[in-house]
Structure 1
Amino acid sequence: MIVTTTPTGQIGRRLVARLLAQDEQLRVIVRDAARLDGAIRDRVQIVEGSHDDPVVLDKALAGADALFWLVPPNPTAPSAAEHYLAFARAGAAAIARNGTPHVVGVTSAGHDFEGSAGVLSAAFRMDSELAASGAPYRALSLPFYMENLLGQLDAIRDEGAFYLTCAADQPLASIATRDIAEHAADLLTDRSWTGQENVPVFGPDRLTPDEMAAVIGEELGRPVSYRRITMDDFASMLRSRGASDQAVQDMTEMFAAQDNGIYDADWATAKIAATDFRTWCREVLRPSALGDDDR
């Protein structure tokens, strides 16, 4: 029995589909079972609630062979660290109580980065808590998600541009969420592994934001440029949307760490995923941007 958290999220729903295609027995933790596709509801055991709740976790982990762990985002949390640690402490305690034999978590690349990295540092603290449970643990350590660009579809369509705080001429490691799900599924179903490790997983490209823009433009058949925004302008944008001072700090520290190469050291040991940026643009971004998304 494999237990999965966040089964309706970008990664979780792909993971559930992949595991069901392999005829694995699944138990999912979901806040609202109505959000699950009907065909999935009929094929999984459902534990309704949040996975920072010890009662929910104990119900879900009873007799489980493996757990997929992902902390859902909460921009209204007092701080990223408090948010991640609340989930991680509840999870680690439940894993220890139930003797869960294998745990696969979603985290960030760059564990050896020196200095504060905001949200990414919070993810690293989560890993430490889960490892302290004593369970065999694999931390899928990931760079920039390609799917983050889907949040800028309006700007890509209407302005022919996308915006980040990263240097235009420095490579930005990236990963497609479908590849995260694939690697998680492999670990959850193999289970021959022991011990605790960080497992960086990167896409095959080393593109700069300028090069990403060129690929997007070629796939959409129209010019697209990358426009770097300053950290001050980014912080001002967050504040204009109601973000707290702590949330602004968490986000700006994360993007500053990306600009300072937090992912770079992990290239040496990263497992290279299948989906390159051009393929992702053709199969995911282009259909979304042109309104023919049938994924």
Structure 2
Amino acid sequence: MILVIGATGQIGSKIVTHLLANGQQVRCVARKFPNKELFRGAEFAIGDINHVAFLADAMRGCTAAFIMIPPDMKATEVRFYQNKIGEVIAEAIEEVGLKKVVNLSSVGAELEAGTGPILGLHDQEERLNEITHADIVHLRPTFFMENLLAGIPSIISMNRFFGTTPGDVPLHMIATRDIAARAAFLLMNPNFTSHNVEYLLGERELTFNEAIGILGNTIQKPDLEYVEVPPQEMRNYYIGAGMSEDWADSLLEMEAALANGTINATVSRDKVNTTATSIEEFARTTFLDAYRKAMTTDITHRTPPSRDAHI
């Protein structure tokens, strides 16, 4: 039995799909499952991962687990929230004696300051590394291509995509399907030992100008424009969209660390950490599907800008 925390999320749901397609027994953890038919064949552990007893019960009988700290954009203190959840996860692993763990972390997780929400993932890596009985892989993916979906309302209403990062700064970008594929492989083939780090950097580096240009051509908007906006303007948007002030400030700190190269300087691209899905493939599949769906609904009244729900 393999446990998947965050089974309804962008990465967790894809991991579950991989595992079930390969005949694995899967136990899915989430607060709720609005579309249980998508998880046919899996077991459900429905509850709050703030509680050690619940999570330990969910882990019992499992040979491996995918773990993550689900983001809560309304949390008033980001790092406190992350550490609270992280402590529960670690305590449950220790209580049950789980042997094999794949932990979702992030590029930049080795840095001790200046990376916003990645700091909570830094803390979690250190916490998990104190568990000596468990073999652990910390997956450190880069910026999710799926973050680009948040710009669809402004693309529809204004033919623009807004962000705080300069449009000509090269960034690594990855499709979450590639993160899920690697996580599923490790869970099905848990031959790793000790504590390890794996980077996942996407198919190639891209600037926002390049990425948005490709998206625009795919949706037949060749004049689609990437527009850099001041951090304060983005902060106001984030808070207006429902984020806590600390989350907004935390995301802006992370965006600044991406823009100035602090995070990218921690890793170099090679054949091992380069993944398959290109921005062109993402554009004609995931992005195009989301764009078409949005075009059939009344969303053009929404106010831009939007970006970076999570790295």
User: Do the two structures share a fold, i.e. TM-score over 0.5?
Assistant: yes
Could you tell me how far apart the structure 1 residues matched to 2:239 and 2:17 are?
A: 38
Q: Which residue number corresponds to residue 96 of structure 1?
A: 94
Could you tell me how far apart the structure 2 residues matched to 1:40 and 1:175 are?
A: 24
> Quick check: 2:138–2:197 contact (8 Å CA) kept in 1?
yes
Question: What code does the residue aligned with 1:273 have?
Answer: T
Counterpart of 1:199 in 2: which secondary structure?
strand
Q: C-alpha displacement at 1:240, in angstroms? A: 3.6
> Quick check: 2:18–2:184 contact (8 Å CA) kept in 1?
yes
Q: Which residue number corresponds to residue 268 of structure 2?
A: 267
Q: Which residue number corresponds to residue 138 of structure 1?
A: 137
Could you tell me how far apart the structure 2 residues matched to 1:40 and 1:178 are?
A: 17
Counterpart of 2:56 in 1: which secondary structure?
helix
Task: Tell which deviates more after alignment, 111-120 or 133-142.
Answer: 111-120
Q: C-alpha displacement at 1:114, in angstroms? A: 5.8
Sort the Cα spacing of 1:131 and 1:235 in 2 relative to 1 into closer, same or farther, 3 A.
same
> Quick check: 2:174–2:200 contact (8 Å CA) kept in 1?
yes
For structure 2, the residue ranges without an aligned partner over 5 or more in a row are 296-311
CA displacement, residues 184-237 of structure 1 (integer Å, 9 cap, x when unaligned): 001101111101122110111211111112111221122211101111211222
Which structure has more relative contact order (CA 8 Å, sep 6+)? It is: 2
Structure 2 length-normalised TM: 0.88
Task: Say if 2:185 is the partner of 1:186.
Answer: yes
Q: How many residues align?
A: 291
Q: C-alpha displacement at 1:49, in angstroms? A: 0.5
> Quick check: 1:93–1:133 contact (8 Å CA) kept in 2?
no
Counterpart of 1:108 in 2: which secondary structure?
coil
Could you tell me how far apart the structure 2 residues matched to 1:36 and 1:273 are?
A: 29
2:81 to 83, 98, 103: 83
Q: Which residue number corresponds to residue 252 of structure 2?
A: 252
> Quick check: 2:112–2:119 contact (8 Å CA) kept in 1?
no
Q: Which residue number corresponds to residue 129 of structure 1?
A: 127
Query: C-alpha root-mean-square deviation of aligned residues, in Å?
Result: 1.9
Could you tell me how far apart the structure 1 residues matched to 2:194 and 2:243 are?
A: 39
Could you tell me how far apart the structure 1 residues matched to 2:245 and 2:39 are?
A: 40
Task: Tell which deviates more after alignment, 221-230 or 17-26.
Answer: 221-230
Of Structure 1 and Structure 2, the greater helix share is in 1
CA displacement, residues 29-65 of structure 1 (integer Å, 9 cap, x when unaligned): 12124x2422524x12222212221111111111211
- How high is the sequence identity, in percent, across the aligned residues? 27
In the TM superposition, what are the counterparts of 1:1-295 in structure 2 within 5 Å? 1-33=1-33, 35-38=34-37, 40-41=39-40, 43-113=41-111, 115-134=113-132, 135-222=134-221, 223-241=223-241, 243-261=243-261, 262-268=263-269, 271-291=273-293
Sort the Cα spacing of 1:92 and 1:290 in 2 relative to 1 into closer, same or farther, 3 A.
same
